[in-house]
Structure 1
Amino acid sequence: MTPEQISASAGPDERRLAGLALNPAAPVDVLLRLLANESAAVRAALCRDRALPGPVVDAVVAHPDKWTRGFFAENPYADPEQRARLVDDPEYHVRGRLAREPRAADDVCAPRPLPDRTVVRIIETYESDHLWELNRLVSPGLQRAMTTHPSPKVRRMGISRLSWTSLTPNIRAALLADPDPGVRKAAEANRRSHERLRDPDAVREDLPAHHCHARTHLLLYGALAPDVVAEALSQNAWLIAFNDSTPPETVAQLAAHTDPKVRAQVAVRSDLGPAERRALAVDPDPGVRLALSVHPALTEAERAAIDYEVEQDDSYCLWPVHDRELVPDLELVRARALSAHPLLRRRAAREMHLPADLVALLADDSDLGVRVLLGQNHPDAPAALLLRCFLEHTGRDRWHVTRHANFPRAGLARFAGGEDPAVRRLALLDPEMPAETADRLTRDPDPQVREDAARHPRLPQDRIAALLDDPELAHRAAANPALPVATMYELIAAAGEPVP
């Protein structure tokens, strides 16, 4: 069963002990006793859903049960160095979970890359079916160095992850002459695949007649002969509108296509001519005009002349770390940050290398998307901005911003009476919340607010004790750091476990 299914099937005593396993104040001895518990639900919570002190990690890594070690292998809260200790685990099950991206139950704790040496060890020794998700665990530095790494298997994986055109001429030549035959074979296959993709006759020969991934890939990225373009115009216009090899005369045709989605795709082409830009700037479809309005060839005055509208939505997400860590063209970023166009400022706002003066400027931007993207992605986002982002943005990644190092917590109890349940939940991040307020929120109509309140350290002891017998909130009350250690041992004893 999955950890979620295991948790759902747990009985009352197991749920209490699983909650206790998450208690940040539980001493090492209590955690070790929970690790020895026969309940999979207790061990899953302990090993997968929290950070663990060193002595407990030692015991988990040496635990005889492969499922227990597997829970820890996919723990997103654990230090990657600790998880890396399982790299040579004898069980296929454990190794497979280590090579997978760990995902937090609350979808807030972002996964961190494994140590480079561990990733290299996985590439060199693991079964191939373990490697399909490994890319998410590779640091940006190792990603950039894979094709020149001393290990042949790492070089081969680097070749498989990159297009031939993304490699420098020197690296291409080195890979084609590599001392390892497997690397040479992979490099040659990559080169031939690229050359075949750039050969219109080969693309025609390889193009499946039926709709499938292979046909889509070739129409998106392959060099297209005139007859292939003519055929695709009637059935796959959007795909050839994306394709860089589509000739200018066809691009002009596509700019007048009846489908606005095709015209919108044409509008973002870097090779779009002046005549097509002028036509699309006054297109009857607002989506087409918006797509054209951020074209890099336009001046600020030309953008301002377009009747576009930028909608607010919920896509202001935490940008992938490996994308944000790449150092951008700072001159381009500055131009975007100073643009009058909100979408260009949003692109600048998600850059973690944004200079301090632009951080200050965009923190007070008139566009919600700019402010939220800055708050989600910049390490120096100011506290006032972060709180404002949470209060104003109600999209799916809203809670991420509360985990920012600069997010303010003092004084949040003032939001305990808010109409929005998420805002009342925000109040529970205040470490100095009045005890009576925490008590009241354990009776809140929203279940998430009740659960968070049951774990708040300012909750009165008599209320914690009462909640330990509450079928809904017992596991949360057991995780409350204000729970007395003596009560922790009582919970263990009540479940039939020996106590000292």
Structure 2
Amino acid sequence: MVAFHASALDGVARNPALPTPLLLRMLAFGADSGRPPRDVLHRAGLPESAVALILAHPNPGVRIDFAMSARAEPAQRARLADDPSPKVRAALAFGPEVYVPRAEIAPLSDAVCARLLDDPDHSVRAALLESPHLAPPFVASMATHHRSAARREAVRAWQALSASEQSALLADPDPEVRRVAELQECRRDARVTADLLRDPKSAAEALRRGLLDRAGAERCIAERTHLAYLAENPSLPADLVDRLAVDPDEAVRLTVSLRPELDETRRMAIDFTAGDLDRGDGVWWVRVGLANPEVMRRAATSAHPLLQRAAARSPHLPPDLLRLLARVEDPVVENLLGIHHPDTPEEVLMRVFARLGGTFSAWMAETHPRFPREGLATRYANHPDGNYRRLAVRDPAATPELIERLSHDPVVWTRQAAARDPRLPFHRLREALLVSDLASSAGANPALPEDEMAAVLDRAGVPA
């Protein structure tokens, strides 16, 4: 009997050339007790006939997978809002779990979100409020909702709320809603800040963002209370900033060095140490200004490594700032540019590829619009490192003979890249379907004929 590896079915499930009849056959698989491969549920552009099968599938796990598909259209997923299973509705409410930079998820419509927010099951309502995919106007609309949990989340859209809505939240009957609203209002109200400082649960955050009077700030310095938070406070008087800039606590000095109002001379005069792996994620004024040209220019042109790293996360950097950061000899800056900026220079991408290796490098090579392709076969087909030999497969000029040779490479990632390539000779493609570590890649090869895909389904026991 011919050996068969179930992973071949997973490969066929994500094959971009999978014809609709076989797609429907896979979706119907397991209607009694099992389930089709997950990848078939997460395909982009599913036809209506496929969506209908998924929505009616008796296995709720299948519907959950589709509810969390990052490739499905929001209107398609929204049809699960009336699903009988609260687990399915909760999965829909939370939305796709996306860990890939540059991926954008379109939110569900406000009408569907409103229905899920009033779902009779608590888990569905909680999942919606925890979702990272809610549209900002919908978040703001929850300010007057009858559920306190929704009003609490609406505080995130504080600047978009009307004065009357803000006032209502500050006087909300729920103490937790009032607390989070006061943490927003304290930016402009010293009295609210003073009240929050008496609450241990809120004191640190109030010190970080609240409007402080001088007496309160001096008292905190004298008592050394949450000094690293205080050092970030925008209302801190200049002379107290100077005092904290020479504080014996290294974390306090580092925080002061990142304040937005400092000029470059004053900033770099502070004795601070930036961690080798610190990406600058905590620099709030850069984080919220990634699309602001003025903020990006101030951060990118600074000699402070954490400001440079924070700016490198912006996909909106203009060409001159991108070139400037690409010349910074900082691996973290290069990594962040490679992850986030679509125009990162090729030489930077290649250095990131060499440094990081493994799965991340493969993702970047396959998805970054500027990652090189031409000439890679000549440069890397015989490279001693298999991570580089894999790059030869990307070259449009790579011959079928080279692709076949690389499908026998000692390094599994290189073999798999070759097995997915449509230039792989057919006889080797059929062989690869029967090799355990190549079966999935071969099944995903768009050159795999329809009859071969059907044979994979047959061997996997998928009913016709």
TM-score (norm. length: structure 2) = 0.76
Kindly state the Cα deviation for residue 460 of structure 1 after the two structures are TM-superposed. 2.5
Kindly state the Cα deviation for residue 301 of structure 1 after the two structures are TM-superposed. 1.4
1:418-433 map, 5 Å: 418=383, 422-430=387-395, 432-433=397-398
Runs of 5+ in structure 1 lacking a partner?
Answer: 1-10, 208-214, 223-239
Identify the match of residue 142 of structure 1 among 137, 145, 151: 137
Identify the match of residue 18 of structure 2 among 10, 13, 26: 26
1:451-485 deviation line (CA, Å, top 9, x unaligned): 33332223222222222222333233222222122
Kindly state the Cα deviation for residue 43 of structure 1 after the two structures are TM-superposed. 0.9
The answer to whether residue 36 in structure 2 is matched with residue 36 in structure 1 is no
The answer to whether residue 458 in structure 2 is matched with residue 489 in structure 1 is no
Q: Is the 8 A contact 1:371 1:385 kept in 2?
A: yes
Q: Is the 8 A contact 1:17 1:42 kept in 2?
A: no
The answer to whether residue 115 in structure 2 is matched with residue 115 in structure 1 is no
Give 2:202's aligned residue. 218
Q: Is the 8 A contact 1:334 1:358 kept in 2?
A: yes
Kindly state the Cα deviation for residue 95 of structure 1 after the two structures are TM-superposed. 1.3
Q: Within 2, Cα distance between the matches of 1:405 and 1:66? A: 37
Give 1:93's aligned residue. 87
Identify the match of residue 267 of structure 2 among 289, 303, 307: 303
Q: Is the 8 A contact 2:22 2:454 kept in 1?
A: yes
The one-letter amino acid of 1:24's match is P
The answer to whether residue 424 in structure 2 is matched with residue 459 in structure 1 is yes
The answer to whether residue 71 in structure 2 is matched with residue 71 in structure 1 is no
Give the number of aligned pairs. Answer: 444
Q: Is the 8 A contact 2:289 2:296 kept in 1?
A: no
Task: Call closer, same or farther: CA 1:153–1:128 in 2, change over 3 Å.
Answer: farther
Q: Within 2, Cα distance between the matches of 1:424 and 1:313? A: 29
Q: Is the 8 A contact 2:205 2:229 kept in 1?
A: no
Task: Call closer, same or farther: CA 1:254–1:332 in 2, change over 3 Å.
Answer: farther
1:244-393 map, 5 Å: 247-253=216-222, 267-271=231-235, 277-278=241-242, 281=245, 289-313=253-277, 315=279, 328-381=291-344, 385-392=348-355
Q: Is the 8 A contact 1:113 1:137 kept in 2?
A: no
Q: Within 1, Cα distance between the matches of 2:272 and 2:401? A: 51
Kindly state the Cα deviation for residue 360 of structure 1 after the two structures are TM-superposed. 4.1
The one-letter amino acid of 2:177's match is N
Q: Within 2, Cα distance between the matches of 1:176 and 1:272? A: 26
Q: Within 2, Cα distance between the matches of 1:184 and 1:247? A: 25
1:325-384 deviation line (CA, Å, top 9, x unaligned): 977553333222222223223333323443444334434444343343334334554555
Q: Within 2, Cα distance between the matches of 1:184 and 1:285? A: 39
Q: Within 1, Cα distance between the matches of 2:384 and 2:136? A: 46
Give 2:162's aligned residue. 171
Runs of 5+ in structure 2 lacking a partner?
Answer: 187-191
The one-letter amino acid of 2:321's match is L
Kindly state the Cα deviation for residue 392 of structure 1 after the two structures are TM-superposed. 4.5
1:386-440 deviation line (CA, Å, top 9, x unaligned): 4454345569965664423444444444445556555444554445543344334
Give 2:189's aligned residue. none
Q: Within 1, Cα distance between the matches of 2:340 and 2:119? A: 35
Task: Call closer, same or farther: CA 1:451–1:244 in 2, change over 3 Å.
Answer: farther
Q: Choose between structure 1 and 2 for higher RCO, CA contacts under 8 A separated by at least 6 residues.
A: 2
Q: Is the 8 A contact 1:221 1:244 kept in 2?
A: no
Q: Within 1, Cα distance between the matches of 2:167 and 2:249? A: 49
The one-letter amino acid of 1:25's match is A
Task: Call closer, same or farther: CA 1:251–1:429 in 2, change over 3 Å.
Answer: farther
Secondary structure at the counterpart of residue 63 of structure 1: coil
Secondary structure at the counterpart of residue 125 of structure 1: coil
Task: Call closer, same or farther: CA 1:458–1:24 in 2, change over 3 Å.
Answer: same
Task: Call closer, same or farther: CA 1:410–1:26 in 2, change over 3 Å.
Answer: farther
Q: Within 1, Cα distance between the matches of 2:250 and 2:19? A: 60
Task: Call closer, same or farther: CA 1:109–1:331 in 2, change over 3 Å.
Answer: closer
Q: Is the 8 A contact 2:4 2:459 kept in 1?
A: no
Give 1:237's aligned residue. none
Kindly state the Cα deviation for residue 281 of structure 1 after the two structures are TM-superposed. 4.8
Bigger CA drift: 278-287 or 55-64? 278-287
Secondary structure at the counterpart of residue 313 of structure 1: coil
Q: Within 1, Cα distance between the matches of 2:401 and 2:52? A: 40
Kindly state the Cα deviation for residue 447 of structure 1 after the two structures are TM-superposed. 3.9
The one-letter amino acid of 2:87's match is H
Task: Call closer, same or farther: CA 1:166–1:137 in 2, change over 3 Å.
Answer: closer
Q: Is the 8 A contact 2:101 2:340 kept in 1?
A: no
Q: Is the 8 A contact 1:123 1:154 kept in 2?
A: no
The answer to whether residue 414 in structure 2 is matched with residue 474 in structure 1 is no
Q: Within 2, Cα distance between the matches of 1:133 and 1:397? A: 29
Task: Call closer, same or farther: CA 1:154–1:73 in 2, change over 3 Å.
Answer: farther
Q: Is the 8 A contact 2:34 2:59 kept in 1?
A: no
The one-letter amino acid of 2:333's match is V
Superposition CA RMSD, Å = 4.4
The one-letter amino acid of 1:28's match is T
Q: Is the 8 A contact 1:16 1:491 kept in 2?
A: yes
Q: Is the 8 A contact 2:93 2:127 kept in 1?
A: yes
Kindly state the Cα deviation for residue 21 of structure 1 after the two structures are TM-superposed. 1.3
Kindly state the Cα deviation for residue 299 of structure 1 after the two structures are TM-superposed. 2.3
The answer to whether residue 52 in structure 2 is matched with residue 58 in structure 1 is yes
Give 1:235's aligned residue. none
Give 1:227's aligned residue. none
1:218-259 deviation line (CA, Å, top 9, x unaligned): 34246xxxxxxxxxxxxxxxxx7898769233443366x9xx
Task: Call closer, same or farther: CA 1:42–1:410 in 2, change over 3 Å.
Answer: farther
Kindly state the Cα deviation for residue 112 of structure 1 after the two structures are TM-superposed. 1.0
TM-score (norm. length: structure 1) = 0.71
Task: Call closer, same or farther: CA 1:292–1:420 in 2, change over 3 Å.
Answer: farther
Q: Within 2, Cα distance between the matches of 1:357 and 1:154? A: 50
Q: Within 1, Cα distance between the matches of 2:216 and 2:238? A: 15
The one-letter amino acid of 1:96's match is A
